[in-house]
Amino acid sequence: MISPIELSTFSVVAFIIPILFVIVIGDNRRLLIRMSFSVSALASLVSVAAGILAVAGGGIEQVVLPIGLPTLPFHLRLDELSGFFIFVVGLLSFFVSIYSVGYVGGLGAGKPVKRLIVFYNIFIAAMFMVCLADDALFFLVAWEVMAAASYFLVMFEDGRSENRRAAYIYMVMAHIGAVLILLSFGVMAGFTTGFEGYTFDAMREARFPLKWATVAFLLSFFGFAAKAGVIPFHVWLPEAHPVAPSNVSALMSGVMLKTAIYGIIRITFDIIKVFPWWWGTMVLVLGLISAVMGVLYALMQHDLKKLLAYHSVENIGIILIGIGLSMIFTSFHLPTMAALALIAGLYHTMNHAMFKGLLFMGAGAVLHATHERNMDEMGGLIHHMPWTSAFFLVGCISISALPPFNGFVSEWLTFQAFLLSPSMPIPLMKLLIPLGAALLALTGALAAACFVKVFGVIFLGNWRGHDNHAVTEAGWSMRAGMSLTSLACLCLGILPAVVIGWMDVISERLLKAKLVTTSGVYGWMWLTPVDPERASYSGPLVLIGIVAVCAVTYLLLHVKPGSISKVPVWDCGFKKLTAKMQYNAVSFSMPFRRIFGFLFDIKEQIRLAPQRGHLAFPVNSHYYLRVRDRFWGWLYRPVIDIVVLLSRKTGMLQHGRIHVYLIYSFVTIIVLLALL
């Protein structure tokens, strides 16, 4: 029988096949797209099976590959944690690959589809390699391959300046993070013994002094935070995700960010193991800031894909809340509560991959149909794209944490970790725990408001755009990808006890504790974290109740034929209503700008062109709104200015005269001789 690690390795190798298709059948564009993404979907499905078996088996498999540098082979390891993340990456990659058959096929004839196929497959394979790596060398090689492949995917339309700028910012942030991770590995490897000190096994056996463990943790955490988009390292994310193809945006936001979450959990809970309480407090605080600020940034946007990108910042923050709570509980020797918080973070990791992938796929379908990312230029699409609107609504409900879909379960578990936590001996914790629960509730309410805006402005009402495009529904493969992802969101929402029962081995491996989610008489229908007498939730019963209420309401409304009539919208006595008089994305977010505007750099202008008669009756008006991220001005703009200044000063050394360069060389040699 093939082992899980063999299946996962086969899956990685299988992603080479679509690259070969580019060489063999590159001229037949339609056949190339169908065969390449079909193989990508099958390879991803194999990895899903490998991940399920690895977690269900509860064992550890290790392989040493005789490749890499001389005497430095690559080490692979598949355990419960890496199996879980391989499952998440593989599941979304499977759905997105099916979706990509229609999405990429609908791109213009002049688009570089071959380049997209090559880097798309390298990108997915690299994410699997990151999860399988069991030494610092192989991990960093896979990490850099993942970053380079995603860089070229962001640069897909390299003729546009905004794509080049976004790719440049992304690559700079990615390499800053990679350098920090490299330094962290170097610190931990310094306390290992033997020649293979670069392996994670050697680091697991090492004993780190607290100060050096703190240095290693901070370096690794901020390195991974740069990839995950944690505030204040989030600036690349709303630049890169909107300009990438929508299938790539779904993978970048849905699963690439999760490789950073994997790295944080791997180093903190598996390699370092023992840590003080303030580490978790720092992670919790940054998670809360990212969650609240991310959803506020999203509320201010009218670019659909940029809005979804900012919501990734929010959801990464929610995941970090669970991880931070787990670290705090672990440091205070509360293993059951630590297991609850960790499972909540991991469950939200999987949930976010599903509903954010679904939303980006829906955004891609809308972009295909309207050629617009500006929500204020859309409206009424539910009449032309009923399937896409239904799938997008599932994503909106899921990300808003409403039952019976998956987002509710993970946020409910996170609330339980807050509400069930015992009194902490540290006064700061007594303040932070209830405050964190309140901020998480605020985040959920703002997210729901944001997606009421998104769905209402895009799919309801009338068309707001200047150009009346011939809007058509997405093709069969795009609908298939979105429907499967919607089904996954529903299953994760109504069967959480089954999924968490499968995931429990991760907390048992890392924390030596499990949840009592499916034990006793409660069975698969009830989710009972920690204590069934204090908190329980039944997804199937909630679904049955919602379906029953909807069915009764439908029957009551349709008891008499013709009892429901369709009438025009109430016009307040003014019979000249136009589509421009509808609420749009900017007007919907106006109350939030008034309340939270001090957190942003906002410039708002109204210019009127009055008639000759009276100023109260202008002929025309122009409204201008600019909302900027204050972190650009606070953190990044000063650094950019300093780097530009130093570059100009350094450039003064370049004269273009050979005798000056010879003097530089001569002085350098003299200085080196004097020092050595």
> Is residue 451 a contact partner of residue 394, using CB atoms and an 8 Å limit?
no
Q: Which two tokens stand for residue 280?
A: 């978790």
Q: Any idea what DSSP says for residue 633?
A: I
Look at the alpha carbons of 105, 108, 114, 117 in this order and tell me if their dihedral is positive or negative.
negative
pLDDT at 561: 62
161: number of Cβ within 10 Å: 8
Nearest to 461 by CA among 371, 583, 590, 304: 583
Geometric angle at alpha carbon 356, from 350 and 360, rounded to 5°: 145
pLDDT at 517: 52
626: number of Cβ within 10 Å: 10
Q: Which two tokens stand for residue 91?
A: 């599941």
Q: Which two tokens stand for residue 303?
A: 């670019």
What is the β-pairing status of strands 72-78 and 61-69?
antiparallel
pLDDT at 366: 92
Nearest to 37 by CA among 128, 118, 130: 118
Residue 378, H or E segment: none
pLDDT at 557: 72
Geometric angle at alpha carbon 187, from 184 and 189, rounded to 5°: 105
pLDDT at 374: 86
Tokens 């593989």 correspond to: 90
How many angstroms separate the CA atoms of 398 and 354, rounded? 9
Q: What is the largest CA-CA distance in the chain?
A: 101
pLDDT at 81: 93
pTM greater than 0.75? yes
114: number of Cβ within 10 Å: 17
Q: Which two tokens stand for residue 185?
A: 């590995």
Extract the residue ranges of the chain whose pLDDT is less than 70. Answer: 68, 195, 468-469, 516-523, 531-533, 558-564, 575, 610-617, 655
How many angstroms separate the CA atoms of 362 and 99, rounded? 10
pLDDT at 72: 81
Q: Any idea what DSSP says for residue 421?
A: P
> Is residue 84 a contact partner of residue 269, using CB atoms and an 8 Å limit?
no
Nearest to 409 by CA among 244, 526, 519, 522: 526
Nearest to 77 by CA among 146, 130, 145: 130
The answer for 523, left when phi > 0, alpha when psi is -120 to 50, beta otherwise, is: left
